[in-house]
Amino acid sequence: MLSNAASEPERVMFANLARLKARLLGPSTNRLVIDRLHGEIVAAARNPLLFTAFGIEDTFEGRFESVVLHAALVLRRLRALPAPAPDVAQDLADALFRHFEVALREMGIGDSSVPKRMKGFAEAFFGRGVAYDEALRGTPADLAEALKRNVYAGRRGGEALAFYVATLDAALAKAPLEAFIKGPVPFPSPSAVPMEQFHEA
């Protein structure tokens, strides 16, 4: 039971975690759809250009940030579409967390440490989703700053990646529900970003 002193953001976070745990125990009614959608997100997030031209670190943390970024944009679009899109969004979030847990275990993380690491993933996942949604409602500078803070941990600017993210968000905004149910999701290629206009350190 939550303490009466818990803040509203904490209550929301714990409610989200509880719902994820409950749903992870049950079968998905859209398994094939979710597996394909998850696969497309991961493929887009692992585009080599994101780690070379855009400078996302090719580490577990960097790949996690790239997957979360692409997933957050897809979830943002799904939640804006009519039913059953919100249910698909929830099943997709559940699938992402299952794969995060599998990745931890494959890295040799012990059973006693997995729950703590998963809690950290949940906080990062939901926090970044909110940050990117707010930034996309703001200015290009807001988006670049959010990416610099999260994807790059302040190590470099996010202007070039912000251009790619804005392009991706615009493409997803035009995508009908069928694109997510049947595929393919319209992920633009990072190669379409005119990198010569960016001079990041």
Q: What is the pLDDT of residues 26-54, one digit of tens each?
A: 444 478 899 999 999 999 999 999 999 99
Is residue 128 within 8 A of residue 68, CB to CB? The reply is yes
Range of the domain at 49: 15-178
* Residue 120 lies inside a defined structural domain of this protein: yes
Greatest pairwise CA separation for the chain in angstroms = 54
Number of domain units in the chain: 1
> What CATH number did the domain enclosing 41 receive?
1.10.357
Ramachandran quadrant class, 186 (left: phi over 0; alpha: psi -120 to 50; beta: rest) = beta
pLDDT digits (tens, 9 = 90+) for 103-127: 777 777 767 677 777 788 888 899 9
Whether residue 35 is contained in a domain is answered as: yes
Q: H helices of 79-158, where? A: 85-106, 114-136, 140-150
Specify if 197 maps to a domain: no
Is the model more confident about 158 or about 195? 158
pLDDT at 3 over 80: no
Whose tokens are 């970003």? That residue is 193
